[in-house]
Chain A
Amino acid sequence: MAPKGKSAEAHAYTPGLKIKSFETVSKERVLPIEGTVFLKVGDQVGFDTVVARSKIPGDPQMINIAETLGVDPGMIDGFLKKKPGDRVKKGEIIAQDKALFGLIKRFVYSPIDGQIETLSDVTGQAIIREDPIDIEVDSYIQGKVSRVIAGKGVDVTTNAAIVQGIFGIGGESFGDLSMAVDSPSERLAPEKITEKHKDKIIVGGSFVSEEAFLKAKSVGARGIIVGGIDVEELIDIIKEDIGVAITGEEDVGLTLIVTEGFGEMPMSTRAFNLLKSLEGSRASINGTTQIRAGVIRPEIIVPYDSSKEARAETEQLAHGMKPGTVVRIIRDPYFGKIATVTGLPIELVKVETESLVRVATVKLEGGSEATIPRANLEVIEE
């Protein structure tokens, strides 16, 4: 019953990925539980400064004393050598049963170093908790502490260039940017990767093969930024298929950030040129991706020297498209092409599938015109 020209699916647009030469970036760096924060507002931090530390309770282990001794759970008290609150060493006797003048002996040993937490006279189970584990959180980006969250951590703020990828694997890392190709459409060939890329973040072009990825790993590179990757080779690298795009925990030796998608896809010229202009600068990268509500995209953050003046810039939350907006087409039949919006018809338009959708008319880089569902356009945020 919607009147003519009104889409049933208003607000359908895809927020673009950031390719910004300047943004004030702030990162919350907090512990999962309360701990000690070592910094104060205004402190300068590097890429790996420890900002807070805590201890998390160790994992508990359960052991059934009654079953091991073959006695009723209500009677284990008489066999205990340790009680709740006592510390135990791995292999230490917790309980024992000696029968027939010591001819039959049964022992219950602690499987870990830790502390006896509880003993149950209903089930006969003992819970022994491992010693607390130290955890700490580092600064991840170079910058200044802008806020202290008592007992949890800090916000680190910096002026930086930022590029978001579409998909990544591997977690946080940092290193100097190093261009390994001359153009965004050039593949990152294995022979382009050499010993000089040790500890570097390699910027490739349109594609990284499994062979090139493994070469980068073998020379000790910390990351790769590239336009596309083959699906089956990615599965080989991470040794499992990806069902849902929630990544960041992969242990593959380095962080990979894909800027465009699967298959061979030239990196967007803007992202390539920005990264090229920053060659040699130290960057923080994170391949963590979560494509769900609360989306997280992988990122490359290149903090500027602190002498560079801060510029007041507020994040634009949801600016839409208008004629003149530069967009990337993110679905067939023009997947990967950059275009400029020429019109935003109000009325719904029937596309090849016969669906009535909201569209935009665009001019492709070669000059030809096309009509594309708005949902298949991504605004390039600059």
Chain B
Amino acid sequence: MLSSPPRDGKELRYILATDVGSTTTKARFFKRGEDGWRYVTSGEAPTTVEAPYEDVTMGVLNAVREIEELTGHRMITDNNDRILMPFDGKKGVDLYLTTSSAGGGLQMMVGGVVTEITAASANRACLGAGSIVMDVLALDDGRLPHEKIRRIKNLRPDMILLAGGTNGGSVKHVIGMAEVIAAAKPRCRLGEGYSLPLVYAGNIDARQHIEKMCCNDFSLTMIDNIRPDLDTEVIDPARRAVHELFMEHVMRQAPGYTKLMGWTDIDIMPTPAGEGNAMQLLAKAYGTNVLGVGLGGATTNVYSVFDGKFVRSVSANLGMSYSISNVLKEAGIQNILRWIPFKMETRDLQTRIKNKMIRPTTIPQTLEELIIEHAVAREALRLGLQHHKTIATRLKGIKVERNVGDILDQKMEETYIKMGSIGAIAGTGGLLSHAPRRVQSMIIMTDAFQTEGVTRLFQDSVFMMPHLGLLSTQYPDIALEIFKRDCLVPMGTVIAVTGEGKVGDEVIEVQLELDGKTVTKALKYGELCRIPLPERSTSHAKIQPKKGFDIGQGEGKMVEAEVYGGVVGLILDARGRPLKMPEDPAEKRARLLGWFKALDMYPRELLDRLGEGS
């Protein structure tokens, strides 16, 4: 059910947007002034989806009330029962919209015939629609039918997407998968007395059988086959169906959402879908391939827009508070320790991380604790990207021509994500946005993603990407204007070489035009250097990698590029790729301390104190 068509953007003066998160509801207020659209301020309040409140609108009104207090602009009715709309010349707003991830977000289960073909496509569609995919089941996933059935029964998803088979091909396998789902008779996670939505996006010839089998226990929606043939993946109909069913079924079961839906001018969207839209806005605005990351407390979302193709992945248990211990578990303790520039026993690190897990809302008060969280963040992002690469893959099942080199390499790399072709990276989420020095989040992302060549880095200023992403669906120009002016904080540019060497080897020489002067910087292997270059400044750079090193055009080949400034400036990274740390722990700690000081990442005196005895 879609909301009424939007008004002309020129009529709008005030926009209110909220994101109902699982713990906090974040309101953002935007205003059109003489110089165009700007972000005004924020209000936040605990989300009220759980007992004893069980009405999300209470948290929304509390967050909006903070904005009222801060601005003096009234936007809640006298009865305190809804948002005042439209703006009447004195009070109210012209547009209200919201994203939501409360109550665990949209939790889906995916079924397909072949794990790497139809199930993979269905998985990509669900992720792109902003859902959390609880499991991907396929006939060839190695589980016995009764194991699959038990899994589906226990999962209790909000919705199921079933794909399988190409049009004109065999119907037997996808019907087999449907039988498994039908036998499980899964109950909905939220609400009782309504049928679980099942979206069928498989071989169209099997529709009659699926209908017969599933019409009683499910709310069935038939859409175009997601893989009409092996060479084609048609994601959009599935993504649209998921969005519509999310509104029609799932949202209506969550406490207070029916009321909230009555307030909004644009359909409610899952938070990650809004964030994904914002990443696409970034790619469009700067005309480049983009990698984006939302590093949250419970999950890490990674987005890529690569050659126009948008893909999202969500690592459900990689996060900085609720899931911090899982990052340690997945990454391994040595991988966390490699980013810590002082001596630390593994048991001590384990204890601190587990204590954060059980008290997830605490914040670091000491530099030592901050550096530990930054170490964990690098690993959460590294694992998040690793996971993303398994989703952002070439279509499997199609014929691919391989050259001799590929055959000798035994396998062609499956993902199409190449760090050297990523022009911009954007980060959002509490740890990145609240880093006391912006250079900290810039280097956390650089280390985790191991950028290659020339890459611009951005950060969400105060977490408004989901809000603007949703706004962009109806008012792209307004969203883009606010996005560029107040949402994206340009941190600067990283120039990173690929290749391996020894400490002391000459790696790179960079010639920059700065304030009308030519500045030359030469770096040796293992060095990092920060050069101030303010926001809205650019510099023409001639980058000459030495023999054995590459900046994107081949070993030893010079690259000329415009580099963009930001709140951090330029970082020249001569540590090589893949980034290797010294084996010796003392040497590793000394190297890290050297990097942190060279970049002015943390207060120097405190770093010296922490580094004593290392």
Chain A contact residues, CB within 8 Å of chain B: 1-3, 6, 8-12, 14, 57, 59-62, 73, 117-118, 120, 122-123, 125, 127, 129, 166-167, 230-232, 241-245, 261-263, 289, 291-294, 315, 317-318, 330-333, 335, 351-355, 357, 372-373, 375-376, 378
Contact = CB atoms under 8 A, between A and B. Distances in A.
Interface string B149-182: 1100100000000000000000110011001100
Contact of B362 (A14, A60, A244): A14
B365 interface: yes
A60 B183 contact: yes
B189 interface: no
Nearest to A297: B358
Contacts of A12: 361
A244 B330 CA distance: 11
A65 B351 CA distance: 54
Contact of B175 (A60, A122, A127, A354): A122
B362 A166 contact: no
B246 interface: no
A357 B370 CA distance: 14
A174 B362 CA distance: 33
Interface residues of B, number: 69
Given A9-B44, A122-B175, A353 B146 contact: no
A263 B355 contact: yes
Contacts of A127: 179, 183
A330 B369 CA distance: 13
A125 B174 CA distance: 13
A331 B185 CA distance: 46
Interface stretch (B130-138, B320-328, B384-392, B504-512): B320-328
Contacts of A291: 322, 357-358, 360
Given A232-B347, A262-B351, A123 B172 contact: yes
B104 A293 contact: yes
Nearest to A243: B326
Given A62-B149, A291-B358, A332-B369, 10 more contacts: A10-B45, A120-B179, A129-B183, A231-B351, A292-B298, A293-B50, A331-B362, A352-B367, A372-B365, A375-B362
Contacts of A122: 171-172, 175, 209
A355 B87 CA distance: 37
Contact of A120 (B102, B175, B298, B363): B175
B45 A11 contact: yes
Interface string B46-82: 1101101000000000100010001000000000000
B185 A57 contact: yes
Contacts of A317: 52
A352 B366 contact: yes
Given A123-B175, A125-B176, A376-B363, A355 B434 contact: yes
Given A8-B462, A61-B146, A14 B361 contact: yes
Interface in B298-357: 298, 317, 322-323, 325-326, 328-330, 347, 350-352, 354-355, 357
Q: Which 3 A-B pairs have the closest CB atoms?
A: A243-B326, A62-B145, A354-B436
B363 A373 contact: yes
A321 to B, nearest CB: 14
13 contacts: A3-B70, A73-B172, A122-B209, A244-B326, A261-B354, A289-B358, A291-B322, A292-B298, A331-B369, A332-B369, A353-B365, A372-B365, A376-B362
B358 A243 contact: no
A375 B66 contact: no
A376 to B, nearest CB: 5
Contacts of A261: 354-355, 358-359
Contacts of A357: 363
A245 B102 contact: no
Interface string B360-379: 11111111111000000000
A244 B352 CA distance: 14
Contact of B322 (A11, A62, A262, A292): A292
A245 B358 contact: yes
